[in-house]
Amino acid sequence: MKSFLQTKKWGEFQESLGRKVWSFDNDGIRANIIEYDMPFGRNYLYIPHGPNISLDDIEGGLKNKITEFVNYLKKISSDSGSIFVKIEPLNDSVIELLHEYGFRKSKKEIQPSKTVIVNLRASEDELLSLMHHKTRYNIKIAEKNNLVFIEGGNVEDFWKLLKQTSEKDNFSPHEKGYYEKLLSFFGNGEIRTKLYFIKQGDKLIAGMIALTYGVTAYYLHGAMDRDHRSMMAPYMLHWEAMRLFKSQGLTFYDFWGVDSTKWPGVTRFKMGWGGNVVEYPGSFDLPISKFWYLIYNITRNIIYSIYGNI
């Protein structure tokens, strides 16, 4: 299983954001390695949804190949002054292979370790039958409100909705330029991103950015006008998006992250679509500078005790 986060194109996108990226690809082990800045001029290296280790493609001694990979991580970390390396593999087997090299479980996740995936191979009637009854009911409410699903649109309109959503839900979005680049960078090719909106009359009241890769559509970012909450626009937005992706031959719709503790409302919404819950191993760190890694964890624990998991 390969994530779009481990494609060459995603690495190039990260470089376009000003981040340094390394690509390790040797004898069955593949990893995009991205440098993330930290305070005090420090940084850490991050492997999203990776590394990928294909045992069938490794020739020679497995232990030697993994040692070579870990030594490569330590070398570029040392050269870059990195405090630690963070990995978030998709398979338990990867961390089983790497655990003895010093990787330890981390409470700080970058990508969510649990998601909900809807199988679009089911018929529309089957998809509806698998939903929570309240989800089906809210889709019907949205349909009665004469809402219109729109494919494509202007990032400025999405940004206006997102600012309103972030203020009311108390989260910090990326800067507007990030969404502009995300949409422009992946206009064509194996990875594609696109805006989708729900319109009521002349007013846009909900929107999202979805990404398609392989046979899967991913819901990455969403926003809505809370003044029109009673119209249930997000329900129509996702239902019409699923129908569209299904008609295009895609197989899965990934809601990209659930967590009943951190995002209880959003998690209830995503769970209501009847998809399968998929859980990944989580986040693991390889400390490079033990001193700075200790300071980092102490600081994180203090922040967590005051503000919660941010």
CATH pick for 4-111+281-307 out of 3.40.50.150, 3.40.630.30, 2.60.40.10, 3.40.47.10:
3.40.630.30
- Tens of pLDDT along the chain (310 residues) come to 689 999 999 999 999 999 999 999 998 999 999 999 998 899 999 999 999 999 887 877 889 999 999 999 999 999 999 999 999 999 999 999 999 999 999 989 999 999 999 999 999 999 999 999 999 999 999 999 999 999 999 999 999 999 988 887 777 899 999 999 999 999 889 999 999 999 999 999 999 999 999 999 999 999 999 999 999 999 999 999 999 999 999 999 999 999 999 899 999 999 999 999 999 999 999 999 999 999 999 988 876 666 555 4
**Residue 285: closest CA among 20, 11, 46, 32:** 46
pLDDT at 308: 57
d(CA 194, CA 210): 6
Q: Quick check: helix, strand or coil at residue 204?
A: strand
Catalogue the E-assigned strands of the chain.
Answer: 21-26, 29-37, 43-47, 52-53, 82-87, 104-106, 114-119, 148-151, 191-200, 203-213, 216-224, 252-254, 276-279, 283-287
Is the Cβ–Cβ distance between 165 and 223 less than 8 Å? yes
| Pairing verdict, β 252-254 and 216-224 | parallel
Say whether 114-279 and 4-111+281-307 share the same fold.
yes
Token digits for 23? 């690509």
Question: CA 287, CA 293: separation in Å to the nearest integer?
Answer: 6
In one-letter notation, the amino acid at residue 238 is: H
Instruction: Report yes or no: 96 and 51 within 8 Å, Cβ to Cβ.
Output: no
Say what the pLDDT of residue 303 is. 67
Q: Provide the sign of the torsion angle of the four alpha carbons 241, 242, 247, 248, taken in this order.
A: positive
Q: Strand 203-213 vs strand 216-224: parallel, antiparallel, or unpaired?
A: antiparallel
Q: What is the pLDDT of residue 9?
A: 97
**6 touches 46 (CB < 8 A):** no
- What is the pairing mode between strands 283-287 and 276-279? unpaired
Amino acid 188: pLDDT: 86
Structure confidence at residue 307 (pLDDT)? 55
**Which CATH code, of 3.40.50.1980, 3.40.630.30, 1.10.150.20, 3.40.718.10, is assigned to 114-279?**
3.40.630.30
User: How far apart are the C-alpha atoms of 226 and 229, rounded to whole Å?
Assistant: 5
For the chain, what are the domain ranges? 4-111+281-307, 114-279
